[in-house]
């Protein structure tokens, strides 16, 4: 029942919600609220709206639409927002392929776009734009950080696994770039694959001492459940995309012991984060994921820039965004020259929580001040 | 490339095949008896998994959950037949596809409305976790062996049902001449509801069993549905025997292709390229297989209607 009321609320929100009727600043959010992997979009939205509510501003209007994880729909929603609603800022996209379909056209037409999740390499490099800001990460960051961490921890023979699609091959390339050693083998699975018996048997047959994998969403759940019953006992590593609080609860005990890299952790020790986690739990009755944290930071960045200038004054507003003068739940936050974050990446371990459910516990920093490798290709 | 790896992968292929058979047998029965293309078959798979996950979570017993999952899927199947499908038998296939596609959307959004968009948790019961050591020091998960066993038992059960019982006789009669068995006084609409519920129940069983290995989430049935369609096209639409052979063939070819194609390409290509090319070709392999079989046997391996 609680789920249903929450969902009902979600449906109301997704049609379009106005926290104020004054039309001073309009923000359009296009995010994934239905279809596979929609919990990412729901968390980005909830984190974003939490920050908006806490700001108490009544001259900002947020319009929210569901892209259903479809590039064509996202594109037409973006056009609608820009032409009919005349929004000043767009945000919200979860998936890199949708971002590639929407962002270049949006920023070319003079609207600001702030990414709360997707960070494809092209937008960090040769297709970067002065009106595009990524508040989350460049896609390679978490994978590279895990490579660095595993090398430091002394793993010498990792085997690595990802789906055979652009973000999957990028993930393994990012990992290898900072691992700087030889891997035993690289395995590619099909996108959306649900049975991993064949891959697990290959991992068993190899003499690897560790496994790094990138399998976002349901693929990660399937893989880890099958991994647990396979009897292979080498440690597993991944990026937070397979280990957010919602996914690991669906995986259950199979996730315990896995280590993962994240740009944020709910038990990260800083004042802004304590307040964020507490108020988020109060408002939505669940522990926020990194996506909620990214949504929250995106909203606060916008709010901080709005205090300096209105988006109509493009240059001043852009400068204010670039300064990133806001309290991030990640602690320190700054942008590189290509408007992508330079940030610490943390390692978390999945442990059994007080309620017997798996949860993430912060272990430490995997790599400090990581910056993407594409900024040199960026000409603004 | 060792023999034990090959044996293990063959087992994996058979396991995938038996689960595909549970899906494909219902699909092919429904097409064979009623001439209906049912795209919503994947939804029954999802219903079975969700009901099992929900009941297992509240009762703590996987077996009760499994029973509830099969019952829920069969009930959903019967209701769908009574309310929607019944009106479609005399319509062209395009109308059937349209209506059953609408059912997919209704089931998916309905499930999201009730359970939310986060995946549910469902694990094999503790007495089925762990692994056995096979000859050659291969460890194989007990749960997967059980899935193979269940698949074989269901195949035998279906064979007996269709060849030895009155219901089976009617199903066979319905397959060969729909109008005639109605004219002979068999209550055809009751038979249709029963067959539909049976197919849906089998899909629900597959969803529940596989859901414990994979993730229980909205839309989980659609990828399986595509594979099941490949299976029945290869096996011959409407033929249970074809569904069995097709499912095992697809299961084994898909599994072995995923493992051995990348290794094969490594013999004459740099490793990173070989993995990419091999993985891409492995993804296409069953469709290539289907095309080749259709080129030589346009009606599939065991065509039911000639």
Mean pLDDT (whole number) for B53-75? 95
The CA distances from residue A263 to A240, B32, B59, in Å, are 8, 54, 38
- A353 with A204, same domain: the answer is yes
Q: Which of A267-276, B4-13, B101-110 has the lowest mean pLDDT?
A: B4-13
What are the tens digits of pLDDT across the range A203-249?
A: 988 889 999 999 987 888 889 988 988 888 899 999 999 999 988 98
Identify the band that residue B304 occupies on the pLDDT scale cut at 50, 70 and 90. Answer: low
- Does residue A15 lie within any of the structural domains? yes
Mean pLDDT (whole number) for A178-205? 88
Mean pLDDT of all residues in chain A?
A: 89
d(CA B118, CA A261): 22
Backbone dihedral region for residue B183 (phi beyond 0: left; psi -120 to 50: alpha; all else: beta): alpha
Predicted pLDDT of residue A15: 45
Predicted pLDDT of residue B214: 87
d(CA A228, CA A174): 27
- A255 with A273, same domain: the answer is no
Q: Which of A18-22, A43-47, B73-77, B140-144 has the lowest mean pLDDT?
A: A18-22
- A173 with A221, same domain: the answer is yes
CA-nearest residue of chain B to A42? B117
Instruction: Check CB contact under 8 Å for A218 and B220.
Output: yes
d(CA B287, CA B290): 5
Indicate whether this complex's ipTM tops 0.85: no
Distance from CA of B135 to the nearest CA of A (A): 15
What are the tens digits of pLDDT across the range A160-176?
A: 999 888 788 889 989 99
Predicted pLDDT of residue A21: 41
What are the tens digits of pLDDT across the range B208-245?
A: 999 998 889 888 998 899 999 999 999 998 888 899 99
Predicted pLDDT of residue B259: 86
Distance from CA of A40 to the nearest CA of B (A): 9
- A95 with A206, same domain: the answer is no
Predicted pLDDT of residue A107: 94
What are the tens digits of pLDDT across the range A288-302?
A: 999 999 999 999 999
Hey, is the C-beta of A189 within 8 angstroms of any chain B C-beta? yes
Mean pLDDT (whole number) for B172-189? 82
Suggest the residue from B15, B116, B134, B226 to mutate for an interface test with chain A (most A CBs closer than 10 A): B116
Hey, is the C-beta of B287 within 8 angstroms of any chain A C-beta? no
- A177 with A318, same domain: the answer is no
Predicted pLDDT of residue B201: 96
Q: What is the residue range of A61's domain? A: 2-118+269-329
- Does residue A160 lie within any of the structural domains? yes
Hey, is the C-beta of B110 within 8 angstroms of any chain A C-beta? no
Query: At the top level of CATH, which class does the domain B3-296 belong to?
Result: mainly alpha
What are the tens digits of pLDDT across the range A61-81?
A: 999 999 988 899 999 999 999
Question: ∠ at Cα A39 (A324, A144), nearest 5°?
Answer: 55
d(CA A287, CA A271): 17
Let me know if B7 is exposed, middle or buried by CB neighbors in 10 A (0-12, 13-18, 19+): middle
Mean pLDDT (whole number) for A337-355? 94
Hey, is the C-beta of B23 within 8 angstroms of any chain A C-beta? no
Hey, is the C-beta of A195 within 8 angstroms of any chain B C-beta? yes
Query: Which residues in chain A have their CB less than 8 angstroms from residue B115's CB?
Result: 3
Of B5, B112, B215, which is closest to A250 when you measure between CB atoms? B215
CA-nearest residue of chain B to A197? B12
Instruction: Check CB contact under 8 Å for B275 and A4.
Output: no
Hey, is the C-beta of B218 within 8 angstroms of any chain A C-beta? yes
- Does residue A134 lie within any of the structural domains? no
- The per-residue DSSP string of A92-141 comes to ----HHHHHHHHHHHHHTT-EEEESS---HHHHTTT--TTEEESS--TTH
Query: Which residues in chain B have their CB less than 8 angstroms from residue A189's CB?
Result: 258, 279
Identify the band that residue B305 occupies on the pLDDT scale cut at 50, 70 and 90. Answer: low
Mean pLDDT (whole number) for A188-203? 87
Chain B segment 243-282 residues within 8 A of A by beta carbon are 255, 258-259, 262, 271-272, 275-276, 278-280, 282
Hey, is the C-beta of B61 within 8 angstroms of any chain A C-beta? no
Nearest C-alpha neighbor of A367 from the set A140, A161, A207: A140
Hey, is the C-beta of A201 within 8 angstroms of any chain B C-beta? yes
What are the tens digits of pLDDT across the range A314-331?
A: 999 999 999 999 999 998
Instruction: Judge whether residue A82 has pLDDT over 80.
Output: yes
Predicted pLDDT of residue A36: 66
Instruction: Check CB contact under 8 Å for B283 and A229.
Output: no
Segments making up each domain of chain B, as ranges: 3-296
Predicted pLDDT of residue A169: 85
Q: What percent of chain B has pLDDT over 90?
A: 55
Predicted pLDDT of residue A2: 44
Distance from CA of A268 to the nearest CA of B (A): 24
Of B214, B258, B276, which is closest to A225 when you measure between CB atoms? B214
Mean pLDDT (whole number) for B67-91? 94
Q: What percent of chain A has pLDDT over 70?
A: 93
- A59 with A191, same domain: the answer is no
- A323 with A199, same domain: the answer is no
- A183 with A226, same domain: the answer is yes
Q: What percent of chain B has pLDDT over 70?
A: 98
Instruction: Judge whether residue A8 has pLDDT over 50.
Output: no
- A51 with A95, same domain: the answer is yes
Instruction: Judge whether residue A12 has pLDDT over 60.
Output: no
d(CA B147, CA B153): 10
Instruction: Check CB contact under 8 Å for B118 and A250.
Output: yes
Instruction: Check CB contact under 8 Å for A201 and B115.
Output: no
- A16 with A153, same domain: the answer is no
Distance from CA of A69 to the nearest CA of B (A): 13
Distance from CA of A224 to the nearest CA of B (A): 9
- A85 with A180, same domain: the answer is no
CATH number at residue A252: 3.40.50.2300
Eight-state DSSP code of residue B119: P
Instruction: Judge whether residue B173 has pLDDT over 50.
Output: yes
- Does residue A190 lie within any of the structural domains? yes
- A242 with A298, same domain: the answer is no
Predicted pLDDT of residue A19: 44
Distance from CA of A274 to the nearest CA of B (A): 25
What are the tens digits of pLDDT across the range B61-71?
A: 999 999 999 99
Mean pLDDT (whole number) for A262-275? 95
Identify the band that residue A155 occupies on the pLDDT scale cut at 50, 70 and 90. Answer: very high
How many domains does chain A contain in total? 2
Mean pLDDT of all residues in chain B?
A: 89
How much is the pTM? 0.80
Hey, is the C-beta of A169 within 8 angstroms of any chain B C-beta? yes
Instruction: Check CB contact under 8 Å for B141 and A230.
Output: yes
């Amino acid at each position: 029942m609680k789920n249903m009321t929450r969902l009902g609320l979600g449906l109301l929100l997704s049609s379009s919600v106005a926290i104020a009727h004054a039309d001073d600043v309009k923000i359009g959010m296009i995010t994934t609220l239905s279809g596979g992997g929609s919990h990412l979009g729901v968390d980005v939205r909830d984190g974003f709206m939490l920050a908006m509510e806490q700001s108490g501003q009544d001259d900002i209007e947020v319009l929210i639409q569901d892209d259903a994880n479809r590039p064509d729909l996202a594109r037409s929603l973006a056009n609608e927002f820009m032409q009919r609603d005349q929004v000043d800022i767009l945000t919200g996209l979860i998936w890199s392929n949708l971002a590639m379909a929407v962002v270049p056209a949006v920023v070319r037409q003079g609207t600001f776009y702030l990414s709360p999740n997707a960070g494809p390499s092209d937008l960090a490099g040769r297709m970067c734009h002065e009106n595009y800001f990524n508040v989350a990460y460049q896609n390679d960051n978490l994978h590279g950080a895990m490579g660095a961490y595993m090398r430091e921890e002394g793993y010498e023979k990792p085997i690595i696994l990802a789906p055979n699609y652009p973000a999957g091959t990028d993930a393994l390339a990012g990992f290898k770039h900072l691992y700087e050693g030889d891997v035993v083998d690289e395995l590619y699975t099909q996108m959306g694959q649900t049975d991993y018996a064949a891959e697990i048997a290959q991992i068993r047959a190899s003499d690897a001492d560790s496994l790094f994998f990138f399998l976002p969403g349901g693929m990660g759940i399937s893989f880890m459940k099958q991994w647990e019953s396979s009897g292979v006992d080498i440690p597993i590593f991944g990026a937070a995309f397979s280990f957010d609080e919602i996914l690991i609860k669906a995986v259950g005990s199979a996730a315990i012991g896995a280590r993962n890299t994240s740009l944020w952790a709910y038990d990260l020790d800083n004042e802004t984060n304590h307040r964020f986690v507490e108020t988020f739990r109060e408002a939505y009755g669940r522990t926020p994921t990194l996506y909620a944290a990214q949504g929250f930071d995106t909203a606060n960045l916008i709010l901080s820039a709005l205090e300096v200038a209105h988006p109509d004054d493009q240059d001043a507003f852009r400068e204010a965004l670039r300064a990133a003068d806001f309290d991030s739940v990640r602690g320190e936050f700054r942008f590189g020259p290509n408007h992508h974050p330079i940030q610490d990446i943390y390692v978390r371990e999945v442990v059994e929580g007080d309620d017997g459910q798996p949860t993430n516990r912060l272990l430490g920093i995997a790599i400090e001040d990581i910056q993407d490798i594409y900024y040199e290709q960026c000409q603004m | 490339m060792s023999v034990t790896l090959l044996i293990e992968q063959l087992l994996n292929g058979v396991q995938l095949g038996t689960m595909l058979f549970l899906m494909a047998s219902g699909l092919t029965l429904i097409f064979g008896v009623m001439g209906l293309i049912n795209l919503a078959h994947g939804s029954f798979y999802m219903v079975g998994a969700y009901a099992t996950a929900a009941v297992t979570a509240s009762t703590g017993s996987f077996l009760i959950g499994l029973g509830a999952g099969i019952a829920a899927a069969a009930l959903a199947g019967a209701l769908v037949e009574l309310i929607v499908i019944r009106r479609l038998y005399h319509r062209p296939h395009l109308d059937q596809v349209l209506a059953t596609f609408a059912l997919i959307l209704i089931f998916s959004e309905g499930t999201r409305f009730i359970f939310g968009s986060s995946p549910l948790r469902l694990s094999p019961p503790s007495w089925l976790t762990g692994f056995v050591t096979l000859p050659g020091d291969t460890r194989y998960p007990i749960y997967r062996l059980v899935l193979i066993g269940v698949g074989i038992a269901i195949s035998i059960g279906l064979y007996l049902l269709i060849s030895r019982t009155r219901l089976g006789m009617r199903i066979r009669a319905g397959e060969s001449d729909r109008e005639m068995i109605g004219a002979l006084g068999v209550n055809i609409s009751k038979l249709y509801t029963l067959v539909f519920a049976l197919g849906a129940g089998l899909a629900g069983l597959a969803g529940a069993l596989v859901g414990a290995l994979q993730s229980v989430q909205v839309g989980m049935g659609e990828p399986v549905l595509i594979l099941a369609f490949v299976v029945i096209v290869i096996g011959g639409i409407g033929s249970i025997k074809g569904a069995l052979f097709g499912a095992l063939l697809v299961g084994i070819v898909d599994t072995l292709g995923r493992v051995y194609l990348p290794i094969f390409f490594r013999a004459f290509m740099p490793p990173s390229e070989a993995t990419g090319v091999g993985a891409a070709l492995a993804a296409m392999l069953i469709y290539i297989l289907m095309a080749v079989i259709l080129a030589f046997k346009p009606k599939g391996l065991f065509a039911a209607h000639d």
